[in-house]
Structure 1
Amino acid sequence: MNEPTDIALEEIAARLSAAAHTARRLPPVKVQGYFNLWPTIVRSRFEMLEADDREPPRFPPSPRDIEAMLEVMRWVQCLEPQARHLVWMRAKGYGWGAISKRFGCDRTTAWRRWKAALGTLAEQSVVKNTLNSSEL
């Protein structure tokens, strides 16, 4: 049986991180049909300087980024739900300490499970075909 190389695992991890970044850039989901009837608050110049309620602008992802994210989300469907959650937490940038607390294990155990999940993804034929045909 072919052992997946570290380069393939790093490439899969990079694609997972890019998918998590794209998911973060998507517009927020809001309930349709609701709107605000309250009047807008007119603030003085001093109050505007102190205001913290301004969100940084969120640039929507391109259709190509969304397609790549959906493709990666199809990849992780072959994993067990716990492994899927572990892989996605790591892709979102959680540290090993937070991940190990979430799963109730040691950091090295969480890392080994993450490596095993990436190895499972690397063995899937769909992922292999995609990685071989993509130009990253």
Structure 2
Amino acid sequence: MADWNRDVVEARIQEAADVLKRLPEERVRGFFNTWPDMMVEFSDMVGRAGEPMKRPPPHPGAISRMEETLTWSKYLEPDDARLLWARADGMPWKHVCWRFGMARATAHRRYDYALCLIAWQLNGRQPPRKRSRGFVVERVRSLSR
């Protein structure tokens, strides 16, 4: 993809977080169950809450995109990467602010900057060292218009 923008990067990161949730859990090798499956009758199920349906495992293409997306954290400072993944994982802004000890506006600015910095570097540019974070955000937004 040649033209990366903030919205595309955000969608890919959210997809990667969703794929990580849907991967099968890791099991310890060598242990197994010899008990037979329990036969459940209708009378046993009366009054019980139904089990939540599990989502299917992710598609191999989605797993490949997730692996590529996980490497994008190298473009960010560790705190910005943690904030980005916490938000992609669905953590509400209030909890993000409590966890990172910052105001809502500051957390949103850092989140926005992290997405724009990833888009900036995926487009083959080096981040400017003597410019503000706002410069990178405005340039990426102006390119996506």
Match of 2:60 in 1: 63
Displacement of 1:36: 2.7
List per-residue Cα deviations over 1:52-88 (Å, max 9, x = no partner).
Answer: 5734233111111111111111112222222111111
Question: Which segments of 5 or more consecutive residues in structure 2 lack a partner in the other structure?
Answer: 125-145
Q: Distance in 2 between matches of 1:46 and 1:77?
A: 55
Mapped to 1, the partners of 2:19 and 2:47 lie a distance apart of: 31
Question: Within 2, Cα distance between the matches of 1:76 and 1:15?
Answer: 13
Q: Which of 80, 90, 95 lines up with 2:92 in the alignment?
A: 95
- What amino acid maps onto 1:128 in structure 2? N
| Farther-moved stretch of structure 1 (34-43 vs 92-101) | 34-43
Letter in 1 for 2:98: K
TM normalised by structure 2 equals 0.72
> Which segment drifts farther, 99-108 or 75-84?
75-84
Is 1:128 the counterpart of 2:123? The answer is yes
Cα distance in 2 for partners of 1:43, 1:55 equals 17
Q: How many residues align?
A: 121
1:35-54 alignment runs, 5 A limit:
35-52=32-49, 54=51
> Partners of 2:69 and 2:54 in 1: how far apart?
26
Range with greater deviation from structure 2 (41-50 or 96-105): 41-50
1:80 corresponding residue in structure 2: 77
Q: CA RMSD in A?
A: 2.1
Gaps of 5+ in 1: 1-6, 130-136
